Structure 1
Amino acid sequence: MSGPEDGQHAEAREARDLAAASLRRTLAELRVDPRRGLSHAEVQARRGTYGYNEVIEKKRHPALALLAKFWGASAWMLELVIVFSAALGKYADVAVVSGLLVVNAIVGFVQERRATGIVESLRTRLQVRARALRDADWRIISARELVPGDIVRLRSGDIAPADVELLDGTLRVDQSVLTGETAEVERVVGEVLASGSVVRQGEGNGIVLATGARTSFGRTAELVRMARPRLHIEAVVASLVHRLLIIVGTLLGVVLVLAFVRGELRLDLAPLALVLLMSAIPVALPVMFTVSTALGSRHLAEHGVLVVRLSAVEDAATMDVLCVDKTGTITMNRLNVAGVSPWGGATESDVLAAGALASQEANQDPIDLAFLTAAKDRRLFDATSAPTVVSFAPFDAQRRRTEAVVEVDGRRLRVMKGAVRTIARECGIEADALDTLAARVRDAAQRGHRTLAVARGPEDGPVELLGLVSLYDPPRPDARQWIATLRDFGVTVKMVTGDALEVASELAREVGLKEIRRPGELRAANADVASAVLAADGFAEVYPEDKYMIVARMQAAGHVTGMTGDGVNDTPALRQAEVGIAVSTATDVAKAAASVVLTEPGLIDIIALVDEGRRTYQRILTWIINKISWTILVASFVAVAYVVTGEFVISAFAMLLLVFMTDFAKIALATDRVRPSRAPETWKIGGFVAMSVTVGVMMVAESLGLLYVAWSHFGLAVDDRAVATFSLQLLLFFAVFSLLSARERRRFWASAPSMPLLAALAADVALGAALPFAGLPALLPTMVAEPLRLRLRGRDVPSRQRLRQGLLPRSVRQSSIVELGDPPRWR
C-alpha cells in the first residue's frame, strides 16, 4: 500500500523530472553549455539577431515639448497682452510681444533640452549589472550586453536583468514592479524569473530566455526613475511670489482707483497692469533652476558622482546629518583572513581548505572571496585533484551559514562555515568548550575582527568543528580624512552597521568616531530619541527598520539627513533620506532607491556633492534676493510715479522688454562664481528677505529722485515716449547694478562675476542703450532731449515758436502731452 507521503514524494519526483526535462530542452534550444556559458563569437552572433537587452524609450516629440512652452502662467499673461494690444490696434506691440513670447519659449526649450541631455548621459552610466558566465569565466557585465543563452548568477538584492529560467537554487523574489502585489513568491529550478523581479533571498544560476522588448517586463534598463519631487526652494519661492503678487496687486489697485477718480481710466491701462503683475512672476525661474542643477550635476559627474534626481543637488546644501554604512563605505569591503585558530587536531590548512570549499566565486561575496583567496595563496588545491562541488547552499539570515557537499577522492564530504554559535550547535559543542570559543571571538572582536567557524564531516553524518577564522575589513585610507572634512563643513557623520558592537566600536575608533550604541537604546529613549541619535557617533547591530527609524527620527527633529548604503537592507533608509547615496558597490535595488550614485570607491566624493550643492544654493539665493528687491522697485516706481505725476512713466511694451531682458540675463547666475559656506545652508532666510525689501525700498527712493530731476530739468514731461525711454534705461541699469551687488554676501567687489554672467549683463546694457535708436514703438531717441529740456523750462521762446511752426520732429508734435501753454508740473 502507498500512503499520502508516498504520493507527495511521487509528485515531487515528477515535478523535478519535468523541471529537468524543461531545462534540457531550454539548453538544447539555446545551444549553450551551462558549465562554460557562451563564447565571444556566439555572443556577437546572437546580438546581431536579438540586439541589445534594452527597450528604446518613447519620448515626447520635440515639437510638442516646444508647444508646451506656450502654456503656463507667464505665457498666458503675455498672450493676454497680445490680445489687449490687438484690441487697441497697437499692431507693432502685438508683433514685438509675440516675438518675445516665441523667444521665451525657444530659450526655455533649448536650455531644458540641454539639461535633459546632461541627465540622460549620466543615466547611461547607471546600467544594471549582471554576473555572466562567458568562456568558462565569471565576469560582471552590463545587463544591456546580455543575449539569450547567457548563463547568469542571481543573488539577494539583484534585479533580474532579463527573463531567466532557474538552473539551480531556490529564490524568493518580489514581483511588485510587475504585478503590484508585495507578497514574495518562490522560484525553484525550471521556473522563470520575469525581468524586473527583485531577488529578496537565495541565490542560483539561470539561463537568459529573452531580452529587451521580448521580456515580460521590457524596461529593466530604466532603473532610475527621474522622479522630480517638490524642491524645498520651490516652496520658498512660491511663498515669496505669492506675497509679491499681493504687493504688486495692491499697488495696481491703488493706481486704478486713483485713475478712476481722476477720470483717466482707459482700456490701454490693462496691458500695463498685466505686465506689472507679470514682473512678480518668475518667468525664467524653471530654466534657471534646471540649468543650475544640471550644470552642477555635470560638474559632479567629473568627480564620479551621478545625480539621479536633480533636487538632490539642492538638498545636499542643507544636509546636516549623514548616516553612513560601514562595510564597503568606511571600509574597503575586501575581507582578508587575519588569523586562523584550529580546533582539535585540525591544521590551519584544514580549516582554510574546508572554508574555501564552502564558498563560491560566482557570488563575488567578500567572505567567500577571502577564503578562496587565502586558499589560493597557500596553494591548498592542486589543479588536477581539485574537489568537485556537488551542491551548494548559500548563506541566508535564518540558517546563518553556507554549506556545500563536495566529492574528494571518490567520497563525499559536507563542509560549512558561518556564525560561531550556529556551527558550534551543528557540531554539538558542549557548554565549556562553547565558553572557550566565545572568549576567542571576543578577543578577535576587540581588534575589530569578525570570526567565523568552519566544520567538516561525511555527507550524511555529523560534522566536526575544524576551527575559527578571523576576518578583517580594513578602513579606507581616506576614511578618517573625509569624516573630519565633513565635520568641518558642519555635517555630523554617524556610522550605521549591522555588525557586532565590539567590531563596530573598534573600527569607529580608527576613523575618529567614538561612541557607538545599539539601536535598542533608542527604542527605550522614547522621551527624546532625536537627542539620543545626535549624541551617538553611530549604531551597531541594526536592522533595516532601525536604519529607517534613525533617518525618520532625525528628519522629524528638523534635520536634513543623508544616508549611504549598498544593499537591499539599506533601501528603506535610502528612499526616506533627502539625500540617498548609493555607493559604488551598491546593488541594483539600492541604486534605484537612491538620488545620488557614487561610481568611485569610498565617500570622499560626497564632499564634492556638498560643496556643489552649497554653490548652487548661493546662486539661487542671489536670484531670490534680486527678484524681491527688483519687483518692489518696478511696481513701486510705476505706482508712486503715477500718483505724483498723473502719468504712467513706462509703457506696457517697454515694461515687457525690461522684464525679459533682466530675467533671462539672470539665467547666467547658474554659472556665477560663488563662495560656498562652511556650514549647512537653511531656507529660513528671513534676514535676507528683510534685506531685499530694504534694498528695494532704497532703489525706489533713488529712482524716483532721478525721475524728479529728469522730469523737472530735462524735458521728460513733454513726451511720454521720452519718459518711457528714460524709465526703461533707469530700471535696466538699476537691475544690472543691483544684481552685481546681490551676488556677493560681502563687499560687492570681493569677487568678479563669471564670464557668462558678465557677458549677459553687458549685452543687457548695450541693448538697453541701443533700443532708443531702433525706432521701436513708445521709445524716443535721446537726441530729442535737449530741445525738450529748453521747452519745458519755458526759457527758449524761439523753440516754442518753432514748435508752433512744426519745426520739431513729428514724434514731438503729435504727442498728446505737448500743448501751447504751461508745461506739465511734478505734483
Structure 2
Amino acid sequence: MGEAASEHKSDHVVNPKGLTSEEVTRLLAEHGPNVIAEDKPNPFRLFFKKLWGPVPWMLEATLVLEIIMGNNIEGLIIGFLLIFNAILGFMHQQKAQNALNMLRTRLQIMARVLRDGAWKQVASSELVPGDYVHLRVGDFAPADLVIAEGQVLVDQSALTGESVPVEREPGEVVYSGSVLRRGEASGSVTATGSKSFFGKTAELMRGAGSRSHAEELVMSIVRYLLLMDAALVIAILIYAAITGLSLLKVMPFALILLVASVPVALTATFTLTSAVASLDLSSKGVLLTRLAAIEESAAMNELCSDKTGTLTLNELTLSGMQTADGVDDADLLLMGALASDERTQDPLDKAILARLAETGVRAPEKTGFTPFDPATKRSEATFLRDGETWRAVKGAPHVVAKLAGADGEFWETAIADLAASGARVLGVAAGREGALSFKGLIALADPPRPEARGIISDLRQLGVRVRMVTGDSMATARVVAAELGMEGVVIGGRDEIAKGDICDIYAGVYPEDKFRLVQTFQNVGHTVGMTGDGVNDAPALKQAEVGIAVSTATDVAKAAASMVLTESGLKGVVEAVKTGRRVYQRLLTYTLNKIVKTIQVAVFLSLGLIVFRHFVVTPLLVLLLLFANDFVTMSIANDNVRVSREPDIWNVRVLIKTSVIIAIAWLVYIFAVFGVGKDVMGLPIPELRTLSFLGLVYSGLSNVLLVRERSYMWSSRPGTYLLLAIVGDVIMVSVLAHFGVFMAPVAWSAIGLLLAFTILFVTLLDLIKVPLLRSPSSRPVEAGAA
C-alpha cells in the first residue's frame, strides 16, 4: 500500500486552488468520465436464456411429443408460442433494466470540489485528475486522491477486505470507494474511473437482485398451487393407466397443465411494476436504492422525521445572541465563526460566517479544525491569539457549558428565551488550552417549511403518523411542533428516550438514539420510516423498514437508506407512500388473478378428463389460453388504481380465502357452460372444446376486471392498456372460434350467448367479492395512474 501511495504522490502535484472550467473540459476529454464501464450482456444471449428453464423445457418437450405423434401443425404453433413468449419476456426485461439504469444514473454520489475559485457540488462522474476535493465524515472517496490538508480515518474494507480502518495524513492516498469514518480532509484527485488503483467506484444503487417480501409470499402460495397441480397430473396418469389411454396423448396434456400453473410472468411483473414505479418516483424527487422499498412504503404507518431541513427550511439566519459577562457580541460572533468552516457547506456554519462577513471583521488563521461530530454535538478550532494557542468551541448549549465549567442552570432561562421563537440555540466557548470560558449563546432562526403542515396532514390522512426527532432543546421542539400542527407528548434527553416510551416529539436526540427509536416502534408492530443525513444515522436507516436519506445526507447514510430524497422536505415521502400503495394494489390484482385462474383451469381440465372421459380442451387451446392471458397480465403493471387511506399489508388468510371462493364460483361457471353445451345444445365434442375454451378465456378476462377493484367493478375505470388488451383478446378469440382457426367453429349466436352469460355471472360474483375483500386497508381515497 505504501509503495502505491508514494507512486501516486511522486507523480502528482497538488493545486490547492483547484481547476478552472476550461481545464476541467480539457481533462474530461482526455481522461473520460469518472466511471467504471460495465460489461453489457449480449442481448442474443439474454434472449436465448428465455428458452432455457423449467417452463421452456416443458413447452419444448410438448413440442417434441406433438411432432412424434405427427401433429405438425400443433407442434408449429407451440414453437411459435414458445418464441413469442420469449420475445415478450425479453422485451419486458429490457424495459425494466432500462428503468433501473436510468435510476442508477440519477442516484449519483456528489463531490465537493473547488473550481473557478469557489466550492461547489458536482456529480462524482465529472471529476478529473487535478480537481481539489473536500471530504467529510460519511463520504465515499469519489476518486483516488492525495491528501493535502487534514487527517482522516478511512475504511477500505470494500476494497481490500481489511476490516480495521486506517489513518491517512497529508501526502498519503485515499482510494476511490473507501469510506471516511472520522475527520475531514481536502486533497487533489490523482486518478479516476478504471485508472484508479482498485478500478472501483462506489455506488448507491443496490438494484433488484433479491426478492421482496411480497414476491416471496406470492411464490410460497404458487408453490402450493404447483403441488396441487402435481397431484392432479398424477391422478390423470393413474386414470390413463387404468383406462388404457395412450401416454403419448396424455403426456402433452399433463405438461401443458403444469405450464398453466407456473407463474411465467411473476418475476417480470413484480420487477417491471416496481422498476417503472421507481422511475416515476425519480421524477418526483425520490430515488430508490432498492426496489423492495416500494412495498415497504405501502405498509409504513410511522414516520420519524428530522426537524432541521426536513420540517424546516434549513435556511438559517442569526436571530439573536446572549453574551456572558464581560463578553461583547463581536467577540462571541468571532469565536463562533472560528469554530465554523465554509468547506463543510453546513447551514449553521454558513449562517455564522455570513454574519461575520457583514461586520467586516477578519478572523485569525486557524491552526486546526475539528468538524461537528454528532456523537459529541460540537465542533472546535485552534488558533493563535497573542502568541498563545486558543480553542474555540461551538455546539449544543449544555454540552459546551459543561465543557467550559459554566453554570448550566443559570443559562437555562436564556436558552428558553431564545428558543421561545423556535430558534436553534448554540453555545460558544473559547480560551487558552485547559482554560475554556463560556462566551454565550447564538440563536439561529430556521422557520418551518411552508408546505410542511399540509404534508403532515396528508400523511396523517394516509394513516402515517409523523413523529418529530430533533437534537434541539425541548423548548425549540415544542414551538416548531406547534407551528406545524403537531400536538402531543414531548420528551427529551437520552435517559427518557432509553425508556422506550412512545410520544410525538423527541428532543435532545443523538444519532445513535434513532436506532433505539426505530426498535421501540417495531417492537409494538409498526412499520417504521426514519429520515437521516449523517454517518451515525446509518444504523437507524438500515434498521427501519423505510430508511429515508434526506437531500443533504452523507454517502454512507444514502447507501444505508432504502430511498434518497433529492429535494428538501417530506413531499417525496408522500409520493413514495402513494406510489407504493398503487404498486401494492396492482400486485394484489395479479396475485388474486393468478390463484383463481390456476385453480379453475387445473381442476376443470383434470376433472373434465376424468368425468367426461375425453379432453375438455386440447393442449393447443390451453396454450392459446395462456397466450391470451399473458397480454392482460402484463397490462396490470399500467392499470389505474386507487390509493388506500390506510397502510397496505399482505393478509394471506384473506387472500387465499377470497381466491378459493372466487375460483370455486368460476368452476361452477365453466362446468355449467360445458353442461349446457353438451346436454342442452347437443354440441359434438370438438365444438364443446371450443365453447369451453371461450368460457375459460372470457372468465379469465372477467376475473381481471373483478379482482382489480376492491370495491364494485364499476367504481373505477381500468387502465387504457388493460382495457385494450381485454377487448383485443375478446375480439381475437371470438373470431378464431367462429371461423374455426385451431378449433371447431361455433356460431355467432353461441358466442354472443356465452358473452352475455359471462357478464351476468361476473356481475353476481362481484356482489360476493366485495364483502370478502372489505377490510380497513382496502378503502380507496383517490384514483389515478402512477
Extract unaligned runs of 5+ from structure 1: 1-17, 787-827
- Work out the CA distance in 1 between the residues paired with 2:619 and 2:323: 90
Q: Indicate how the Cα distance of structure 1 residues 642 and 153 shifts in structure 2: closer, same or farther if over 3 A, else same.
A: same
Identify the match of residue 271 of structure 1 among 234, 246, 252.
252
2:591 maps to 1:618? no
Instruction: Kindly indicate whether the alpha-carbon contact (under 8 Å) linking 1:333 and 1:366 is maintained by their aligned counterparts in 2.
Output: yes
1:308-347 residue CA offsets vs partner (Å, 9 max, x unmatched): 2122112211122222222322222333322111223332
2:728 maps to 1:763? yes
Q: How many residues align?
A: 747
Please, what TM-score do these two structures have when normalized by structure 2? 0.88
Q: Which residue of 2 aligns with 1:380?
A: 360
1:703-762 residue CA offsets vs partner (Å, 9 max, x unmatched): 222212212344433xx4333322211211111122222222222122221110011112
Aligned to 1:181, the other structure's residue is in SS state coil
Q: Which residue of 2 aligns with 1:200?
A: 181
Post-superposition offset of 1:554: 3.5
2:690 maps to 1:710? no
Q: Which residue of 2 aligns with 1:494?
A: 467
Identify the match of residue 296 of structure 1 among 254, 271, 277.
277
Q: Which residue of 1 aligns with 2:568?
A: 601
Instruction: Kindly indicate whether the alpha-carbon contact (under 8 Å) linking 1:419 and 1:453 is maintained by their aligned counterparts in 2.
Output: yes
Post-superposition offset of 1:389: 4.2
1:648-691 residue CA offsets vs partner (Å, 9 max, x unmatched): 11111111110121133211011111111100111114234322
Instruction: Kindly indicate whether the alpha-carbon contact (under 8 Å) linking 2:146 and 2:190 is maintained by their aligned counterparts in 1.
Output: yes
- For residues 11-410 of structure 1, what are the structure 2 equivalents within 5 Å? 30=12, 33-34=15-16, 36-376=17-357, 378-381=358-361, 387-396=364-373, 401-405=378-382
- For residues 531-542 of structure 1, what are the structure 2 equivalents within 5 Å? 532-533=501-502, 536-542=503-509
Post-superposition offset of 1:193: 1.0
Aligned to 1:100, the other structure's residue is in SS state helix
Q: Indicate how the Cα distance of structure 1 residues 106 and 138 shifts in structure 2: closer, same or farther if over 3 A, else same.
A: same
Instruction: Kindly indicate whether the alpha-carbon contact (under 8 Å) linking 2:673 and 2:691 is maintained by their aligned counterparts in 1.
Output: no
Post-superposition offset of 1:414: 5.5
Aligned to 2:642, the other structure's residue is in SS state coil
Instruction: Kindly indicate whether the alpha-carbon contact (under 8 Å) linking 2:374 and 2:511 is maintained by their aligned counterparts in 1.
Output: no
- Work out the CA distance in 2 between the residues paired with 1:403 and 1:248: 70
Identify the match of residue 484 of structure 1 among 451, 457, 471.
457
1:90-111 residue CA offsets vs partner (Å, 9 max, x unmatched): 2222221121111111111111
- Work out the CA distance in 2 between the residues paired with 1:588 and 1:626: 42
* One-letter amino acid matched to 2:567: E
- For residues 417-428 of structure 1, what are the structure 2 equivalents within 5 Å? 417-420=394-397, 423=400
Q: Indicate how the Cα distance of structure 1 residues 557 and 101 shifts in structure 2: closer, same or farther if over 3 A, else same.
A: farther
Post-superposition offset of 1:222: 2.5
Q: Indicate how the Cα distance of structure 1 residues 298 and 443 shifts in structure 2: closer, same or farther if over 3 A, else same.
A: same
Please, what TM-score do these two structures have when normalized by structure 1? 0.84
Post-superposition offset of 1:360: 1.5
Instruction: Kindly indicate whether the alpha-carbon contact (under 8 Å) linking 1:455 and 1:467 is maintained by their aligned counterparts in 2.
Output: yes
Post-superposition offset of 1:418: 3.7
Q: Which residue of 2 aligns with 1:753?
A: 718
- Work out the CA distance in 2 between the residues paired with 1:30 and 1:113: 43
Q: Indicate how the Cα distance of structure 1 residues 737 and 395 shifts in structure 2: closer, same or farther if over 3 A, else same.
A: closer
- Work out the CA distance in 2 between the residues paired with 1:29 and 1:641: 81
- Work out the CA distance in 2 between the residues paired with 1:271 and 1:22: 70
- Work out the CA distance in 2 between the residues paired with 1:241 and 1:519: 50
* One-letter amino acid matched to 2:220: S
Q: Which residue of 2 aligns with 1:451?
A: 425
Identify the match of residue 662 of structure 1 among 629, 654, 658.
629
Q: Indicate how the Cα distance of structure 1 residues 422 and 646 shifts in structure 2: closer, same or farther if over 3 A, else same.
A: closer
Q: Which residue of 1 aligns with 2:659?
A: 692
Identify the match of residue 414 of structure 2 among 440, 445, 449.
440
- Work out the CA distance in 2 between the residues paired with 1:230 and 1:658: 28
Instruction: Kindly indicate whether the alpha-carbon contact (under 8 Å) linking 1:202 and 1:395 is maintained by their aligned counterparts in 2.
Output: no
Q: Indicate how the Cα distance of structure 1 residues 70 and 696 shifts in structure 2: closer, same or farther if over 3 A, else same.
A: same
Q: Indicate how the Cα distance of structure 1 residues 29 and 636 shifts in structure 2: closer, same or farther if over 3 A, else same.
A: closer
- Work out the CA distance in 1 between the residues paired with 2:375 and 2:602: 69
Q: Which moved more, 1:86-95 or 1:565-574?
A: 86-95
Post-superposition offset of 1:420: 4.2
2:620 maps to 1:671? no
Post-superposition offset of 1:555: 3.5
Aligned to 2:573, the other structure's residue is in SS state helix
Q: Which residue of 1 aligns with 2:443?
A: 470
* One-letter amino acid matched to 2:360: L
- Work out the CA distance in 2 between the residues paired with 1:234 and 1:513: 38
Aligned to 1:92, the other structure's residue is in SS state helix
Instruction: Kindly indicate whether the alpha-carbon contact (under 8 Å) linking 1:339 and 1:469 is maintained by their aligned counterparts in 2.
Output: yes
RMSD: 3.0
* One-letter amino acid matched to 2:722: L
Aligned to 1:333, the other structure's residue is in SS state coil
Instruction: Kindly indicate whether the alpha-carbon contact (under 8 Å) linking 2:14 and 2:188 is maintained by their aligned counterparts in 1.
Output: no
Aligned to 2:188, the other structure's residue is in SS state strand
Instruction: Kindly indicate whether the alpha-carbon contact (under 8 Å) linking 1:54 and 1:218 is maintained by their aligned counterparts in 2.
Output: no
Q: Which moved more, 1:485-494 or 1:177-186?
A: 177-186
Q: Indicate how the Cα distance of structure 1 residues 164 and 401 shifts in structure 2: closer, same or farther if over 3 A, else same.
A: same
- Work out the CA distance in 1 between the residues paired with 2:523 and 2:360: 55
- Work out the CA distance in 1 between the residues paired with 2:146 and 2:678: 85
Q: Which residue of 1 aligns with 2:699?
A: 734
Q: Indicate how the Cα distance of structure 1 residues 236 and 341 shifts in structure 2: closer, same or farther if over 3 A, else same.
A: same
Aligned to 2:369, the other structure's residue is in SS state strand
Q: Indicate how the Cα distance of structure 1 residues 77 and 547 shifts in structure 2: closer, same or farther if over 3 A, else same.
A: farther
Q: Indicate how the Cα distance of structure 1 residues 624 and 457 shifts in structure 2: closer, same or farther if over 3 A, else same.
A: closer
Q: Indicate how the Cα distance of structure 1 residues 425 and 739 shifts in structure 2: closer, same or farther if over 3 A, else same.
A: closer
Q: Indicate how the Cα distance of structure 1 residues 618 and 644 shifts in structure 2: closer, same or farther if over 3 A, else same.
A: same
Post-superposition offset of 1:373: 1.8
Q: Indicate how the Cα distance of structure 1 residues 744 and 22 shifts in structure 2: closer, same or farther if over 3 A, else same.
A: closer
- For residues 446-595 of structure 1, what are the structure 2 equivalents within 5 Å? 447-456=421-430, 465-511=438-484, 512-518=486-492, 532-533=501-502, 536-595=503-562
Q: Indicate how the Cα distance of structure 1 residues 405 and 634 shifts in structure 2: closer, same or farther if over 3 A, else same.
A: closer
1:746-792 residue CA offsets vs partner (Å, 9 max, x unmatched): 22122221110011112211221232467655x12336999xxxxxx
Larger radius of gyration: 1
Q: Indicate how the Cα distance of structure 1 residues 398 and 663 shifts in structure 2: closer, same or farther if over 3 A, else same.
A: closer
Instruction: Kindly indicate whether the alpha-carbon contact (under 8 Å) linking 2:15 and 2:188 is maintained by their aligned counterparts in 1.
Output: no
- Work out the CA distance in 2 between the residues paired with 1:502 and 1:52: 49
Instruction: Kindly indicate whether the alpha-carbon contact (under 8 Å) linking 1:163 and 1:215 is maintained by their aligned counterparts in 2.
Output: yes
Q: Indicate how the Cα distance of structure 1 residues 546 and 83 shifts in structure 2: closer, same or farther if over 3 A, else same.
A: farther
Instruction: Kindly indicate whether the alpha-carbon contact (under 8 Å) linking 1:284 and 1:664 is maintained by their aligned counterparts in 2.
Output: no
* One-letter amino acid matched to 1:753: P
- Work out the CA distance in 2 between the residues paired with 1:255 and 1:517: 68
Post-superposition offset of 1:234: 1.5
Q: Which moved more, 1:744-753 or 1:151-160?
A: 744-753
Post-superposition offset of 1:427: 5.6
Q: Indicate how the Cα distance of structure 1 residues 359 and 768 shifts in structure 2: closer, same or farther if over 3 A, else same.
A: same
Post-superposition offset of 1:44: 1.8
Post-superposition offset of 1:256: 3.7
- Work out the CA distance in 2 between the residues paired with 1:653 and 1:685: 34
Q: Indicate how the Cα distance of structure 1 residues 398 and 673 shifts in structure 2: closer, same or farther if over 3 A, else same.
A: closer
Q: Which moved more, 1:516-525 or 1:476-485?
A: 516-525
